[in-house]
Structure 1
Amino acid sequence: MTAPTAPEETLALRCSGRVVGRYVHRPALAPRLSPRPYLHPVRTLGGVAVTELMPADHLHHLGAGLAVPDVDGRNFWGGRTFVAGRGPTELDNHGEQRHTRFVERDDDGFVAELAWSAGGRELLRERRTVTAAPLGPAAWALSFAFTLTNTSGADLSLGSPATNGRAGAGYGGFFWRAPKEAEPPAVRTGDGEGTEAVHGRRADWLALAGRDFTLVFAGATDATRGDPWFVRTREYPGVGSALAWSGRLPLPPGADLTRQVVTAVVDGSAAMRSAAELAQLAHAAVAAAPAGGHRSADPSGDPHD
């Protein structure tokens, strides 16, 4: 007899008095999907959904969140693993990001701790900070910041299909799966337009526009701005900030890795024309209300809530 699946646990994220997202911190997911907390649905202030969950083309795409396909050979992305000489291969190597507690939480965000484990061994601890801030009557900003700490007691490194031999597939890190529409979304940075012009390139900001929404992603730190953008539009609409694009990223025992991406979530597609300004406004709005500095402590006091 199959054991019953525990119900999912979620937390509402609010901005300007509206629920603009839900954080699923204890999801009910199969091991093959590399179970992990995620944000879905994320919506514009006008109610347009701008994330997609478990689409048919990639069941392991889970809204907006953090996923890494190769942590010392363990898959924290979900689905198949790219193996040199074999291509995408089904392996029993999936890891799990487990929510351990909320350090602080409020209507407009939270600070959480997570444990990254695979094969019965903890590899990483994460401190994740998510904040929502208003930008105006038709836009708001979402900040997603994380620090990964190597708690394994041994040298680790982060990789991607690209570092394992699949050219152009350097994904892994912050990743946002957008809804698939009849036409591919438009994409641009300050340096070019179209997927070929932005994929694998570094840029302070990147804008993705669907039929009724625009997302403007911006690296909020020098380290984050140094990571190339991973972009898909034709196969599916997705944007990520790539941690290991062309080479493995080493993480010695006890070492930390910190990144922060701020995303302007905007009603309408005309905002592409003011994407650079939106990126600056989003960064300023989040900086003016830093997560953690004004939040109430988790009322449960339970480190494993």
Structure 2
Amino acid sequence: MNSALLSCAGRPVARYGFGSDQAARPYFHPVTTLAGTPVTEERPGDHLHHLGASVAVPDVAGHNFWGGNTFVRDQGPTALDNHGTQRHIGWKLRGPDGFVEELCWQADGAELLREHRTVAVTELSGTAWALDFSFALTNRSGADLTIGSPATNGRPGAGYGGFFWRAPKEAAGPTVFSGSLDGEEAVHGSVADWLALSGDGWTLVFAGATAETRRDPWFVRGTEYPGVGSSLAAAQRLPVPAETTVVRRVVTVIADGRLDRDAAAALVRQAVPV
């Protein structure tokens, strides 16, 4: 059984698995606040390949682990037969408060990356909890490879790829802010310890939990659709030599209500290990 149901404060808050159609990667959906408000979206009409909260990368040595079209330099978004799959190998640990999982990133029948994924749930208050998500990608291809994005392939501002969270689309776009910046335009592409996305009755606060993760710029959308990602290759391709490992860790605070900057910062201090 390649799925998990996570609980916090005695109630289910996140379902994890591959979905009913065996999607090409595992993902969290639905994720809810403690009061039961959904804060993820699955296969929305504007982007059918957006799958709740997951690790998705548009370009691993030319293979698409994001879904949808591939951005080709001087050509634009193009439908290519280059899609890879994140295949579940097994659980090292699995319980109601988290799991440890092994995954194989494969394309054309060959393994490119082996992933060690660790997820843990923590109750922060009566109205907030945290999802601690870390992943370690080891190059198992037998050769050096690089990770890219549409930005590194010629599309300005589209440096997405890595941890990505698709939030629900509502009548009004969400409020976006970080510790020192306000608005989607200001926060997108910035390097910040944390950023918040606040909608109708909910707030998500995303925080880099390691120095390496905090150096990655944030990818933010609010007007076109609500989504946040931590970018592995925002401006240049990320080299992953053979048998080396890339590690990232993002802690997401899931809170009821609309948090202000001080409240968001306080929850980050509580949720992120120092």
Deviation of the 1:29 alpha carbon: 3.9
Q: In the alignment, which of 17, 24, 28 is matched to residue 10 of structure 2?
A: 17
Q: In the alignment, which of 266, 284, 287 is matched to residue 255 of structure 2?
A: 266
Structure 1 stretch 274-283 or stretch 142-151: which is displaced more? Answer: 274-283
Quick one: distance in 1 between partners of 2:36 and 2:149? 34
* 2:237 matches 1:248: yes
Quick one: distance in 1 between partners of 2:259 and 2:251? 20
Q: 1:71 to 1:202 in 2, by over 3 A?
A: same
Deviation of the 1:11 alpha carbon: 1.2
| Alpha-carbon contact 2:178-2:261 (below 8 Å) kept | no
Deviation of the 1:283 alpha carbon: 1.0
- When normalised by structure 1's length, the TM-score is 0.88
* 2:197 matches 1:208: yes
Q: Which residues of 2 match residues 118-267 of structure 1 at below 5 A? A: 118-267=107-256
1:8-28 alpha-carbon deviations (Å, 9 max, x no partner): 853100111110000114752
Q: 1:243 to 1:64 in 2, by over 3 A?
A: same
Q: Matched residue of 1:278: which SS? A: helix
- The code of the aligned residue for 1:194 comes to G
Gaps of 5+ in 1: 1-7, 288-305
Quick one: distance in 2 between partners of 1:233 and 1:248? 25
1:21-67 alpha-carbon deviations (Å, 9 max, x no partner): 0011475246xxxx100010000000000000000000100000100
Deviation of the 1:199 alpha carbon: 0.3
Quick one: distance in 1 between partners of 2:238 and 2:249? 17
Q: 1:175 to 1:151 in 2, by over 3 A?
A: same
Q: Which residues of 2 match residues 273-292 of structure 1 at below 5 A? A: 273-284=262-273
- When normalised by structure 2's length, the TM-score is 0.97
| Alpha-carbon contact 2:2-2:88 (below 8 Å) kept | no
Paired residue total: 274
Quick one: distance in 2 between partners of 1:191 and 1:256? 32
Q: Matched residue of 2:57: which SS? A: strand
Gaps of 5+ in 2: none
Q: Which residues of 2 match residues 62-101 of structure 1 at below 5 A? A: 62-101=51-90
Q: Report runs of 4+ in structure 1 exceeding 2 Å deviation.
A: 25-30, 270-273
Deviation of the 1:282 alpha carbon: 1.2
1:141-180 alpha-carbon deviations (Å, 9 max, x no partner): 0001000000000111000000000000000000000000
Deviation of the 1:280 alpha carbon: 1.1
- The code of the aligned residue for 1:19 comes to P
- The code of the aligned residue for 2:124 comes to L
| Alpha-carbon contact 1:145-1:258 (below 8 Å) kept | yes
| Alpha-carbon contact 2:163-2:229 (below 8 Å) kept | yes
| Alpha-carbon contact 2:103-2:114 (below 8 Å) kept | yes
Deviation of the 1:80 alpha carbon: 0.2
Q: Matched residue of 1:78: which SS? A: coil
Could you say what the CA RMSD is over the residues aligned between the two structures, in angstroms?
1.3
1:170-204 alpha-carbon deviations (Å, 9 max, x no partner): 00000000000000000001121001110000000
Quick one: distance in 1 between partners of 2:245 and 2:260? 36
Quick one: distance in 1 between partners of 2:114 and 2:20? 18
Q: Matched residue of 2:114: which SS? A: strand
Q: Name the counterpart of 2:104.
A: 115
Q: Name the counterpart of 1:303.
A: none
Identity among equivalent positions (%) equals 60
Quick one: distance in 2 between partners of 1:265 and 1:9? 24
Q: Matched residue of 2:206: which SS? A: strand
Q: 1:27 to 1:221 in 2, by over 3 A?
A: farther
Q: Matched residue of 2:135: which SS? A: strand
